[in-house]
Amino acid sequence: NSPRLQPLPRLLVVTAIGKLRVAVVGAGRLGGFHAQKLAANPDVHLVAVVDPLEEARRRVAAASGAEPLAQHSLLRGKIDAAIVAAPTQLHYGIAMDLIRAGIHVLVEKPLCPTADEADQLVQAASRQGVVLQVGHVERFNPAFDAVAGWRPWYLEAVRAAPYPFRSMDIGVVLDLMIHDIDLVLALAGSPLRRVDAVAMPVLGPYEDVAQARLEFASGCVANLLASRVHFETVRRLHLWGDEGFAAVDLGNRRATVIRRSVTVRTGQLDVQALAAEPPAVREAVLGQHLPREDHQYAAIDALALEQQDFLESIRLGRAPRVPGQAGREAVAAAEQILQQIAMRRPDGFHPPIHAVPPPHAPFFISTQPGVPT
């Protein structure tokens, strides 16, 4: 076991030229992206890339001009902040060590495998006075911004992709569906009251396809479908509410919004009388009271925006867009979904579904070739 990091003074320490000192823990695909963007940020000094696998850490560190380190305990006294992009099973231990050392932390989604571990991280960050942010990057998607202020009655989210051959220490709920769980919780703005879910494994012991129905105290209902064994990539969100209807294509940054006029919302539109009118009149009236807006948003770097939000939260002393508590709520909802899945196992032709991945499973950062980070 590596020695634990020792606490640092809570007062932010930056380099002489005013740059935040940051490290990336985990030199896999996502860790490499984070390191690349941090290295290009003029307000950041990327100090180190940490990974037990020498080839991985040296490759990412060389590409980003950082020091390669084998253990996060070696970061003591060297950094102000860290981005944790290690396997999910290791998030808790790494993030807790960093937080206890007074280091600001951005943890890639999901925050932890269990709500109990997430609770402990949130509480520790509060005690230490450090920023804890969770990498729910879809919150920075401009297409989501089109509906971010809505309070829908009903939502439908579909997220699908071909098998990634990474994040194999968790199932599709914590791998993909967690994105939409976070978005739905942010939109519903109400306590979760009931969860129903089914799923099945396809290529491994964890679920690869899952469907969940969430009911909230406000009456809002959300249906979520996630698959990581799909023939194409889909990231779609549909909403119905007082405002109207919205179809959001997160992957292509498009949003179609049909708004309900005051006349429609107050029940003053006489649809019975309108039915007797010629088609051209009906179309014109509906176009007036249910106007359609089509939005196409420019390409943006959501990961860079997420990083910038993290860095600004540290410098300005404000909460990030996706604080630790939001990440905790997403994990708690995912945990309920996984518990429901465990109660509804498929038939004997499929291996058992693991409800909640064991928090101390033997899965480490890049200890062998092919292990994702």
CA–CA dist 366, 28 (Å, integer):
8
* Residue bearing the bigger pLDDT, 50 or 358: 50
Through-space distance between the first and last CA atoms of the chain, rounded to whole angstroms: 20
* pLDDT (0 to 100) of residue 371: 29
Architecture of the domain defined by 20-137+304-322: 3-Layer(aba) Sandwich (3.40)
* pLDDT (0 to 100) of residue 342: 87
Using the Cα atoms of residue 292, residue 250, residue 231 and residue 209 in order, give the sign of their dihedral. Answer: negative
Q: Angle at CA 259, nearest 5°, toward 256 and 260?
A: 155
The answer, yes or no, to whether residue 283 has pLDDT greater than 60, is yes
Record the tokens describing residue 36, joined without a space.
Answer: 């690349």
Write phi, then psi, for 103 (nearest 5 degrees): -100, 135
Q: What CATH code would you report for 140-300+330-343?
A: 3.30.360.10
Contact of 73 with 2, CB cutoff 8 Å: yes
Alpha-helical runs (H) found in 129-225: 142-145, 172, 178-188
- How does pLDDT run across 170-188, given as a tens digit for each residue? 899 999 999 999 999 999 9
* Residue bearing the bigger pLDDT, 23 or 349: 23
Sorted by where each begins, the domain ranges of the chain are 20-137+304-322, 140-300+330-343
* Residue bearing the bigger pLDDT, 223 or 348: 223
- How does pLDDT run across 96-129, given as a tens digit for each residue? 999 999 999 999 999 999 999 999 999 999 999 9
The answer, yes or no, to whether residue 301 has pLDDT greater than 80, is yes
The answer, yes or no, to whether residue 271 has pLDDT greater than 90, is no
Q: What is the mean pLDDT of residues 68-91?
A: 96
Judge whether 20-137+304-322 and 140-300+330-343 match in fold: no
Record the tokens describing residue 319, joined without a space.
Answer: 């909460």
CA–CA dist 307, 235 (Å, integer):
22
Contact of 373 with 28, CB cutoff 8 Å: yes
With pLDDT > 90 as the criterion, what percentage of the chain qualifies?
74
